[in-house]
Structure 1
Amino acid sequence: MHKIIVFLAVVVFLLTANLPAAAAQDVPSDIYQWVQASPRISYYFNKAEMKYAVGSDGMADTNVLEVPVLQQFDWIEIQDVTEKRRWNNEDVTGFSNLWGFAGIVHIDLKARTAVYVQEEYLNTWWSSIAVFTSNNVDNIDKMSEKNLDRIFYDNIISYAAAHKIELMQRQHDQLKPDDLKAAGLTEKQTPAGDKKTEKQKVKEIMDRYQTDK
């Protein structure tokens, strides 16, 4: 009996030993930036689609980041989320294939607050199985420096600061002239080595054609 118990304990250990870091290779690294892994959740943000939030006037506000985020759950977190929904009499249809969480967070860089404007649970095929709204507002500076959410937000803010010109170039036509001027982007930036007009390119092709003849 003692040997059986020891054997089962070893099996459980081997099955759970690698769970703390939720399989990061399942998330494309060219799109998502990994930030951290708790014992139950891995945190990512979408660096390819992060941008400045656009207001009702159609203009981007450089003080507010809009960032798609992703959380990958391990099996313990999956069970916990599912059981909490059952306890609250919420629908658990599809939660047998729960993979994690996706959301869009607005981070106000001046107020240092974060609020989710879209939240959903995803299945293993990254299809939505439940959409919800928490309406929670996180005051970043009031959170402990060891708080995982604060660490996550601060990493997003640091990345955005380091890639500010890139983000502004993505939304060049939605930015106010003063914001463009402050960033030295008063004119649409043209990739290096590609500054010729279409007429110039066509003329070069025709000239080469005449030369070859």
Structure 2
Amino acid sequence: MHRIIVFFAAAVLLLTVSLPTAAAQDIPSDVYQWVQSSPRIGYYFNKAEMKYAIGSDGWADTNVLEVPVLQQYDWIEIQDVTEKRRWNDGDISEFNNLWGFAGVVHIDLSARTVTYVQAEYLDIWWSPLATVAEDNVDSLDKMSNKNLDKIFYDTIIDYATTHKAELMQRQHDQIRPEELKAAGIAANKKPAPAVVEKTTKEKVKEIIAAYGNGK
């Protein structure tokens, strides 16, 4: 029995040493906001770079949040993701350094939907390992309140609501003036048109024209 316990302990130690460490890349708290941790995944969003999505008209759409998100995997999730990728004949040549997941989500505050516009696996140095196909549109109102993703997205929405003035100020020049005014934020004054210096020939022409009109 003693030999079995020793063998098991040695196997666990060997497995632990051979796995990539999730601490290889620190998560800066001044950039990323921690939301929650499941037994396998830690959820973060980038509060320093979250913003409103830019519409086709060039103006920021204050109904749509654009937020970089981050998920830190533990070793069990790392193994699970790797095995699923192997099962689907995906490239896992660099997945011994898998750290987690990074993406950019669009959260439509009016439609209450969430869409990933960018998603990829990261290695322990936060370099992209592979693109993740995330083409689903999640409806927040159809998700259970206990769903970890819903809790994550709702927390992002709450943060954006609380910091709305800050977000609008961050994109001051991309927010419509009427929206800034409604939020109590002064719009930037348009710069005065640049003065174009006239050439000597143009000045002479003006003098001649003025002389002619004066006759």
Could you say which TM-score interval applies, normalised by the shorter chain? 0.7 to 0.9
When normalised by structure 1's length, the TM-score is 0.79
Structure 1 pair 106–24 and aligned structure 2 pair: CA distance change class (3 A) = farther
How far residue 8 of structure 1 moved from its aligned partner, in angstroms, is 5.3
1:154 aligns with 2:159: no
Other-structure match for 1:165: 165
In 2, the alpha carbon distance for the partners of 1:133 and 1:118 equals 9
Other-structure match for 1:88: 88
How far residue 93 of structure 1 moved from its aligned partner, in angstroms, is 2.5
- List alignment gaps of at least 5 residues for structure 1: 17-21, 189-213
Other-structure match for 1:3: 2
Other-structure match for 2:26: 26
- The answer on whether the counterparts of 1:63 and 1:108 sit within 8 Å (CA) in structure 2 is yes
Q: How many residues align?
A: 182
Structure 1 pair 146–23 and aligned structure 2 pair: CA distance change class (3 A) = farther
Which of the pair has more CA radius of gyration? Answer: 2
In 2, the alpha carbon distance for the partners of 1:25 and 1:134 equals 24
How far residue 24 of structure 1 moved from its aligned partner, in angstroms, is 11
How far residue 132 of structure 1 moved from its aligned partner, in angstroms, is 2.9
| Per-residue Cα deviation, 1:125-160 (whole angstroms, up to 9, x for no partner) | 100010133201111111110100000000000000
- The answer on whether the counterparts of 1:117 and 1:133 sit within 8 Å (CA) in structure 2 is no
In 2, the alpha carbon distance for the partners of 1:174 and 1:51 equals 11
- The answer on whether the counterparts of 1:93 and 1:129 sit within 8 Å (CA) in structure 2 is no
How far residue 91 of structure 1 moved from its aligned partner, in angstroms, is 1.4
In 1, the alpha carbon distance for the partners of 2:80 and 2:93 equals 15
Other-structure match for 2:41: 41
In 2, the alpha carbon distance for the partners of 1:53 and 1:79 equals 35
1:45-64 mapped onto 2 (5 Å cutoff): 45-64=45-64
- Secondary structure of 2:49 counterpart: coil
Q: Structure 1: which amino acid aligns with 2:113?
A: T
How far residue 47 of structure 1 moved from its aligned partner, in angstroms, is 0.2
- List alignment gaps of at least 5 residues for structure 2: 17-21, 189-215
In 2, the alpha carbon distance for the partners of 1:141 and 1:23 equals 35
When normalised by structure 2's length, the TM-score is 0.78
- Secondary structure of 2:179 counterpart: helix
- Secondary structure of 1:36 counterpart: strand
Structure 1 pair 158–23 and aligned structure 2 pair: CA distance change class (3 A) = farther
- The answer on whether the counterparts of 1:51 and 1:167 sit within 8 Å (CA) in structure 2 is yes
Structure 1 pair 35–25 and aligned structure 2 pair: CA distance change class (3 A) = farther
Q: Structure 2: which amino acid aligns with 1:48?
A: A
- Secondary structure of 2:86 counterpart: helix
